[in-house]
Amino acid sequence: MERVYLDHAATTPPDPRVLEAMWPAFSRDWGNPSSIYLEGQTAHRWLDEARVRCAGLLDVESSEIVFTSGGTESDNAAIRGAALAQRESGAGDHIVTSQVEHHAVLHAVEQLEREGFRATYLAVDPDGCVDLAELEAAIDPKTVLLTLMTANNEVGTIQPIADAVALAKARNPNIVVHTDAVQAAGSMDVNPSNLGVDLLSLASHKIYGVKGTGLLYVSRGTPWNAQILGGSQERERRAGTENVAGAVGLAAAMEFAWNEREERVGNYRRLRDRLLFELPERIPETVVTGPPDPARRLPNSFSCCFRNVEGESVLLALDMVEIAASSGSACTTGSLEPSHVLTAMGIDDDLAHASLRLTVGKGNTDAEIDYVLDQLPEIVARLRALAPR
Ligand SMILES: Cc1ncc(COP(=O)(O)O)c(C=O)c1O
């Protein structure tokens, strides 16, 4: 069997069409977009064109797009940029987020707490979803920012963003709302006006683009300050010579993702549903994590925990039979701490240590899923037989 890659939530293989689209901006048109001579202006055109294409797909103004180095930077910039601008104007000092956010969000909020902000980390139900009444109650007159992910990277739970935004803004019209749509962008509508958000983060490498590029959507008029300071690039909202080829690649990756969404999602659902329904039948004591209802989780995401096995051993054994899988988030691999997401969902530490995430992508086939359904029960049974009771 050739390698079976089932970790598309960690990163996706770059689409050759994206690489091809990027190549002229890498090789021939390598000028600095800030230079006034021909080479610079040519590079500038590539950048402008990429911005217009990204904005068109998101149905926003091109002036509302800030190119960044990826999801982490977009999240940090959104959160710090809005919270600090709001505090400066006297709007308040309170941030609301959830306990299941990516560390790019949680660590940014924790840092702001060290800088004097107050923060509320909303609890989630056993499926990983926030409670809207609790969210509404958490918003106070001094709340300046709500940051809530569109969909979770570990368990695929889709959050009720549009409803959350409506409630938050009704309670405090000055609140700025950010969503981390890094995982959702490949398979959901992330149009900021449909979600109602002021700030939205995307990363290219989760949608078959390349690593190190992303964007932050900043709605016109949103109180927000630049976080990377220096030159006047990106209308003084993100200093530093632009990654022109990266921006071109992001626009291409988004275009393919948007245009092919229906077909991709159909394929994801078919393959993922086989994992969701067939794996628990084949492996006793499998606890599916995240919503059991396929419609409430990202269409490409399956996750579970196995009683009485060590999750890391399952991953290593899968790797030996040519299957690439994850325990949850790439960032916690190798860490002895159980996942903060699973813990927030009320899963005990022992079970949380035996977690598995399989995220399908556009290259996966039924034959590959057959292979996983064949291999995994044997692996879990073997490891359970070895485990001390
Ligand atoms: C939900 C979410 N937010 C943010 C990030 C960070 O994105 P990047 O790796 O592009 O910095 C990730 C990456 O796994 C993610 O899944």
The residue extents of the domains of the chain are 4-12+262-386, 16-259
Say if residue 330's pLDDT is above 90.
no
Amino acid at position 259, single letter: N
Pairing mode, strands 323-324 and 4-5: parallel
Say if residue 385's pLDDT is above 60.
yes
Residues found in the chain: 389
Whether pTM > 0.95 for this model: the answer is yes
pLDDT-derived band of residue 328, with 50, 70 and 90 as boundaries? confident
Ligand 1 centre distance from Cα of residue 244 (Å): 21
Contact yes or no for 240/213 (Cβ under 8 A): no
Q: Identify any residues that bridge with 179 across adjacent strands, giving them in sequence order.
A: 200
Q: Is 75 in the pocket of ligand 1 (CB under 6 A)?
A: yes
Mind listing the pLDDT tens digit for each residue in 267-320?
999 999 999 999 999 999 999 999 999 999 999 999 999 999 989 999 999 999
Q: What pLDDT score was predicted for residue 387?
A: 81
> For residue 104, which atom of ligand 1 is closest to its CA?
4
Mind listing the pLDDT tens digit for each residue in 137-160?
999 999 999 999 999 999 999 999
What fold characterizes domain 16-259? Aspartate Aminotransferase; domain 2 (3.40.640)
> For residue 101, which atom of ligand 1 is closest to its CA?
1
Q: Where are the beta strands (DSSP E) in 99-163?
A: 118-122, 143-147
Half-sphere exposure of 123 (CA within 13 A, CB side): 7
Once rounded to an integer, what is the mean pLDDT over residues 341-366?
A: 96
> For residue 329, which atom of ligand 1 is closest to its CA?
14
Q: Is 71 in the pocket of ligand 1 (CB under 6 A)?
A: yes
Once rounded to an integer, what is the mean pLDDT over residues 318-344?
A: 83
Q: Is 101 in the pocket of ligand 1 (CB under 6 A)?
A: no
Q: Do domains 4-12+262-386 and 16-259 have the same CATH topology?
A: no
Kindly report the protein residue whose alpha carbon is nearest to atom 16 of ligand 1: 153
Once rounded to an integer, what is the mean pLDDT over residues 42-61?
A: 98
Ligand 1 centre distance from Cα of residue 215 (Å): 12
Does the 4-12+262-386 domain belong in CATH 3.40.50.300? no
Burial label for 134, CB within 10 Å (0-12, 13-18, 19+), is middle
Pairing mode, strands 355-359 and 143-147: unpaired
Q: Give the residue numbers marked as catalytic.
A: 331
pLDDT-derived band of residue 331, with 50, 70 and 90 as boundaries? very low
| Token representation of residue 372 | 């996983």
Say if residue 329's pLDDT is above 60.
no
| 95: enclosing H helix or E strand | strand 94-98
Mutation pick for ligand 1 pocket among 103, 149, 153, 202 (CB with most ligand atoms within 8 Å): 153
pLDDT-derived band of residue 1, with 50, 70 and 90 as boundaries? confident
Angle between helix axes 244-259 and 38-58 (nearest 10 degrees) is 30
| Token representation of residue 126 | 């056993």
